[in-house]
Amino acid sequence: MKSAKRRVRAVLFDFDGTLADSYAGIAASVNHVRARRGLPPLAVAEVRKHVGRGPAHLLQHTVPGADLDRDVAAYRAHHPSVMEAGTRLLPGARDAVLAVKRGGLLLAVCSNKPRPFTERLLQHLDLADFVNVVLGPEDVPRPKPDPAMVLCALDRLGVAAADALYVGDMSVDVQCARAAGVEVWVVTTGSDEPAVLQQARPDRLLSHLGELPGLLGLAD
């Protein structure tokens, strides 16, 4: 573990499972696609396990025998109708974002969720004004765990990897940050179980984002 209260210039957040619990909305769209194929609905907990690696991965693992291009298109067409009602901020998320901004740090969101969905949800959750850069899989050649998204965010922010912190909720996030040379903390509020996160060996494991301001020396 790295020391607490390390001063950074920028904090990069994942979205699903890190800033927001969006699993109900995601499950609703998955079940919409399943219904089109005559399949019964899945529980939110089952869908949640497959969130975080992008829509193609999600549907490959929740809609058997899928026509992937058609199913992704159906998912993306349906999701705007349910994503706001099916998404809420996770405990401590708003306080963490506000503390980062009050501390004069830059803020980015790097998510495998399609960027238009992330941008709309940040507006809905009243966080958009605090975020300097939003990136999704359409902005880079390869999604996370490839480091391209984090490296692109650092470039747009004008911040070196050594001066940034990445905060996510999955082993994918740890792999991505490691490959980008960025310190990585993870919260246990997302798709991966704590044991999986510990095995991925992040620099710090948090139970929720409310711990972040104090650890960065940003608490009031």
Single-letter residue type at 114 = P
**119 and 55 in one domain?**
no
| Residue 64 confidence (pLDDT) | 86
The answer as to whether 166 is a domain residue is yes
Torsion over CA of 91, 93, 95 and 101, rounded to 10 degrees?
Answer: 180
| Residue 1 confidence (pLDDT) | 42
Count other C-beta atoms under 10 Å from residue 73's C-beta: 13
**76 and 159 in one domain?**
no
Q: Based on the number of CB atoms within 10 Å of its own CB, is 192 exposed (0-12), middle (13-18) or buried (19 or more)?
A: buried
Does position 183 have pLDDT exceeding 60, yes or no? yes
**187 and 160 in one domain?**
yes
Write out pLDDT tens, residues 16-38.
Answer: 999 999 999 999 999 999 999 99
Catalytic member of 14, 71, 169, 173: 14
**104 and 29 in one domain?**
no
Write out pLDDT tens, residues 87-108.
Answer: 999 999 999 999 999 999 999 9
| Residue 220 confidence (pLDDT) | 63
Q: Kindly state the average pLDDT of the residues 175-197.
A: 95
Write out pLDDT tens, residues 69-82.
Answer: 999 999 999 999 99
| Residue 3 confidence (pLDDT) | 42
Q: Kindly state the average pLDDT of the residues 189-211.
A: 94
Q: What is the pTM of this model?
A: 0.93
Which ranges of 93-202 does DSSP label H, i.e. alpha helix? 93-102, 115-124, 148-157, 171-180, 194-200
pLDDT class for 54, splitting at 50, 70, 90? confident
**137 and 73 in one domain?**
no
**125 and 190 in one domain?**
yes
Q: Kindly state the average pLDDT of the residues 110-118.
A: 95
The answer as to whether 5 is a domain residue is no
Print the domain residue range for 174: 10-21+88-215
Q: β-pairing, 106-110 with 133-135?
A: parallel
**104 and 64 in one domain?**
no
Q: Kindly state the average pLDDT of the residues 162-173.
A: 96
Residue 14: active-site member: yes
Distance between CA atoms of residues 189 and 7, nearest Å: 24
In CATH, what number is assigned to the domain containing residue 177?
3.40.50.1000
Cis peptide leading into 145, omega within 30 of 0?
A: yes
